[in-house]
Structure 1
Amino acid sequence: MRMMIEGFERAMERWAANVWTFVRGPRHKPMEVVAVLRKECDDNAMIVGHGRTLVPNLFTIELPHETHRRLDVHSAELAPQLAAQVRRHAAERRYTFAGPVTVRLHPAGDPGGSRYRVRSHVEARPSATPPAELTQVLPLPTP
């Protein structure tokens, strides 16, 4: 089963590489974006407790307008693939997230720009049932 999953992941990576090459040309490699997403995690890691390091879980990739227009039809497949790469990196580094990892593709604010930019932040999404440590009643300190 594991080999089947790894084969699927490699096929998705090749697909994402082919889409990126089609859009940006061979001089811009798709792994550049993955490397930037990984760096974004590393640069914004926050130690929140013993053995817990929190990293961003919401990533916005701002693309040049023409690139965004071309990639928009593939964003439903490409964004989850990029999110999977972020989750894999986080698992290797033992990072934690405040909520599900989401990658969004948006057009850049500068219509004439030719570079992409990645922005990230932590977006906490409460679960239906809070963890036990958040619902415990703690004793009041005695004077």
Structure 2
Amino acid sequence: MGLLKQMEHVVEECESALIAKITGNDPVELCDDLRRECDEHTIVCNQHRVLVPNEYTVELAPEVHAELAARGGQVGQQLTDVLAQHATKRDYEWAGPLAVHVTAADVPNGRYRITSTARAHIPAGALAARTR
């Protein structure tokens, strides 16, 4: 493993440990809850097509979010990767481009809250063309 890969691995382990320390639980629980959010909002179009939301927001307690941001965390991308793998295994189809946004918020349980929505992909020029 190259030096850069080793450094990336160490940073990822530190982020996971930090999340576990601050949230009081294993990061696996957050990933499981994210997958559950996806599974609970499926729309079965037919036996070969199951649509799922493509935009997810993970709201973290402000202190958790600030600590991750200070460390230059890539948590949103890591969570996006988790969902992409989950959808591949289940043959889900995204409603549009997949994105997981990690934000700071006052969450009721002091840990995190996950929400999702389906947003269609709209090309940048589409709205401009309609308003003319």
For the superposition of Structure 1 and Structure 2, which TM-score range results when normalised by the shorter chain?
0.7 to 0.9
Q: Tell me which residue corresponds to 1:79.
A: 76
What does residue range 116-131 of structure 1 map to in structure 2 within 5 Å? 116-126=112-122
1:107 aligns with 2:97: no
Aligned length: 119
Q: Tell me which residue corresponds to 2:14.
A: 18
* 1:59–1:103 contact (8 Å) kept in structure 2: yes
What does residue range 2-41 of structure 1 map to in structure 2 within 5 Å? 15-25=11-21, 27-41=24-38
Distance 1:51 1:85, change over 3 A: same
- Taking the aligned partners of 1:91 and 1:35, their CA distance within structure 2 comes to 16
Alpha-carbon RMSD:
2.8
Q: Tell me which residue corresponds to 1:133.
A: none
Q: Secondary structure at 2:74's aligned position in 1?
A: helix
- Taking the aligned partners of 1:74 and 1:55, their CA distance within structure 2 comes to 31
Specify every segment of 5 or more residues in structure 2 that has no aligned partner in the other structure, as ranges: 125-132
- Taking the aligned partners of 1:74 and 1:85, their CA distance within structure 2 comes to 21
| Matched letter for residue 20 of structure 1 | S
Q: Please list the CA deviations of residues 8-43 of structure 1 after superposition, one character each: whole Å capped at 9, or x if unmatched.
A: 8xx978754430312441841111111011101110
Specify every segment of 5 or more residues in structure 1 that has no aligned partner in the other structure, as ranges: 129-143
* 1:62–1:106 contact (8 Å) kept in structure 2: yes
Distance 1:23 1:37, change over 3 A: closer
Q: Tell me which residue corresponds to 1:57.
A: 54
* 1:12–1:81 contact (8 Å) kept in structure 2: no
| Greater Cα shift, 64-73 or 52-61 | 64-73
Q: Which has the larger radius of gyration?
A: 1
Q: Please list the CA deviations of residues 66-119 of structure 1 after superposition, one character each: whole Å capped at 9, or x if unmatched.
A: 001111245662211110110100010000002111111111135x85221101
- TM normalised by structure 1 equals 0.70
- TM normalised by structure 2 equals 0.75
Q: Tell me which residue corresponds to 1:43.
A: 40
- Taking the aligned partners of 2:83 and 2:101, their CA distance within structure 1 comes to 13
* Percent of residue pairs bearing the same amino acid type: 30
Distance 1:45 1:17, change over 3 A: farther
